[in-house]
Amino acid sequence: MSQIQIGLLLLLLTLLGVVGYNVYLSETTPNEISYTDFMEQLQKGEIKAVHLKGGAVKGEDCRKQAFSSFIPDVPATLTILREKSVLITAEKDTENIGGFLKSMVPVFLILGGYLIFSRTQKKGGSGLGKNKYSSFVPSKNTKVSFEDVAGISEARSELIEIVESLKNPEKFSSLGGYIPKGVLLQGPPGTGKTLLAKAIAGEASVPFFSIGGSDFVEMFVGVGASRVRELFTEAKKNAPAIIFIDEIDAIGGKRSGGNATGSNDEREQTLNALLVEMDGFNSDQTVIIIAATNRPDILDPALLRPGRFDRQVTISLPDAKGRRKILEVHAKKILMAPGVDLSEVARSIPGFSGAEIANLVNEAALIGARHNKTAVELSDFEEAKDKISLGLERKNVVINETVRRVTAYHEAGHAITAKLLPETDPVHKITIMPRGRALGLTQQLPLDDRYTYSREYLINRIKILMGGRVAEDIVFGHQTTGASNDILTATDIANRLVCEFGMSKTIGPVAYIQEQGGFLGGSPTTRPYSEKTAENIDKEIKRIIEECYNETLVLLTENNKFLHKLAEALLVNETVDGEEMDIVHYCYMNEKSIEKKLMKHQKEERAQQNQRISGLPRSFYKEETKCEHEKE
């Protein structure tokens, strides 16, 4: 049995003892009656015997039931007791220490059980008063260096100065400056904030103290503040050192300014202790605090001011070049097949964070092992990417031929619209194999990472989303629910185009919504506007979507044969990649060109025939008419 289980068992036994003692007291304590009831029973002769102790009286009635009461006028009551021939006993009224101790037994039991539990928990390393930080001193075996951190070169170069200040603090103090006391790493989840902090400690070879923001906060007020003081005291003893607080927004949120109670009061006390400790470093103690958060917008301004967090480093998602470097770092841990182009893999995973890329490499290795391969191939990366982005293939799902054909034309409509419209991302893959919750998918991959979007790109994106529904209308003449998510996404793009990006000529360059701060997304906030403006916004959004739908209808109607060819290819192969789609498009264009040439040739022959006929004399027509008449 572990020490934690022993502590819990002792606490449970203590509580059972308290409950049992209270039951015992309730059973053995006489029934207390009022002075009025006592006098009424006495006058009726129902009292058999009493025991006096000062003003307190305990006795027994004729039914041998015990009772207790209090007598305000003892001499007068004694006279009545003697008249009624009641047996009287008495004792001297002194301070009853034993009674006091008896009343304090439950308190002592609870306090003793709590102390035993706390002491046991402290020995186990997770008590209420025990700090929960983990610490280590980098060695050759556990050292994490900047070579292990890839894809965030700008943030890494910004933090090299921190390493130099830890190695040689006199270099900076000689000119009168002081090294940064705190560095705030902010960015989306999985971008390498914790790894970067460990790399700083590894490069500087100094002790590293790590703790999560939520580990400071407990139910009991004052525990978090004591943990902050203990953590900083230990770091100062081992200076120079680094303190890393992950998810600091758990304790560093903006203070309410009102009367806080409960857990909010505990959080604010913890924050106050942290602010004091960050300001309390002595000049001869080199302790740097590094914190990470996904929500810098909710942090208290006092925490962000210079002198506490002097540096605020934003770690963004890596670009294509950064993703390739991260892939190279993780690919060293697996056996790669020759010829695997990591640049192609990096280009095919836009928006992936460092943690997601590490998971991609691991999934590719697992898939290769599942297929009994001796090395990880490019196809394994493709399958791992689809598994992470799109979900697992539902190979056992039975889909009837009608739904399968509708799905093929739906996805072909998306793909052809993306292929034929300008300023769109190239089509990477089209599939009608069910994955996750979708029956099919058209995947596009940008040639380069996009940081801004033009109005034409957004409008064409809406047209691509409408392509599936338009294809269903053209081929089958009815609509299905398969386009529900497309319509939802298209409406969101049109809404942001009008209300956030100010790209509507009718509404004008006015923003009515804005994004939430931080890196976790969330619903955008809306600024107040009138009902008339809301009506105009609704009309403009509807107009944009309807125009996109109609233009997509014209486009797919003109390329109806291309739609049928691509849909048939999907029905046969289930998955068509970008190159195979280009082949289908090439064949379609050749047939279209041959048809144009044939139509042109037929038109020219008809024109030449008309020209020959028009060059004959008028008498020829009369003779022809005459001969025809005679034949009849």
Catalytic site positions = 411
Q: At what angle do helices 578-614 and 560-573 cross, to 10 degrees?
A: 140
| CA 35/CA 41 separation, integer angstroms | 10
| Strand pairing category for 31-32 and 66-70 | parallel
Give the residue from 557, 525, 148, 125 showing the smallest Cα distance to 326: 148
Residue 374: how many CB atoms within 10 A of its CB?
9
The two tokens of residue 308 are: 């506490």
Specify the residue for token string 């009424």.
Answer: 40
Burial class (CB in 10 A: 0-12, 13-18, 19+), 525: exposed
Q: Which residues pair with 575 in a beta bridge?
A: 431
Residues across the chain: 632
Here the tokens at position 342 are: 């990591």
Answer yes or no: are the C-beta atoms of 566 and 543 closer than 8 Å: no
Pair 466, 548: CB distance under 8 Å: yes
Name the one residue in this structure whose structure tokens are 């959080």: 267
User: How far is CA 406 from its chain centroid?
Assistant: 35
Task: Tell how strand 513-514 and strand 441-444 pair up.
Answer: unpaired
Token digits of residue 425: 């991302």
User: 56 forms bridges with which residues in the sheet?
Assistant: 53, 70
Closest by alpha carbon to 291, among 450, 425, 181? 181
**What tokens appear for 281 in the block?**
């470093």
State both tokens at 1.
Answer: 């049995």
Alpha helices in 125-176 (DSSP H): 153-167, 170-173
Two structure tokens written together for 224: 């978090």
Q: In what order do the strands lie in the sheet with 47-53?
A: 31-32, 66-70, 56-61, 47-53, 87-91
DSSP SS3 for 467: helix
In degrees, rounded to 5, the angle at the alpha carbon of residue 477 between the alpha carbons of residues 473 and 480 is 65
Residue 236: burial class (beta carbons within 10 Å; 0-12, 13-18, 19+): middle
Pairing of strands 208-212, 241-246: parallel
The 287-293 sheet, strands edge to edge: 134-136, 208-212, 241-246, 287-293, 182-186, 311-314
Question: 513-514 and 525-526: which strand pairing?
Answer: antiparallel
Q: Please give the order of strands across the beta sheet that includes 441-444.
A: 441-444, 427-431, 575-577
* Closest alpha carbon to 63 in 46, 77, 88, 78: 46
Q: Which residue, 450, 415, 342, is CA-closest to 565?
A: 415
Measured CA to CA, the distance from residue 279 to residue 390 in angstroms comes to 49
The span from the CA of 53 to the CA of 30, in Å, is 15
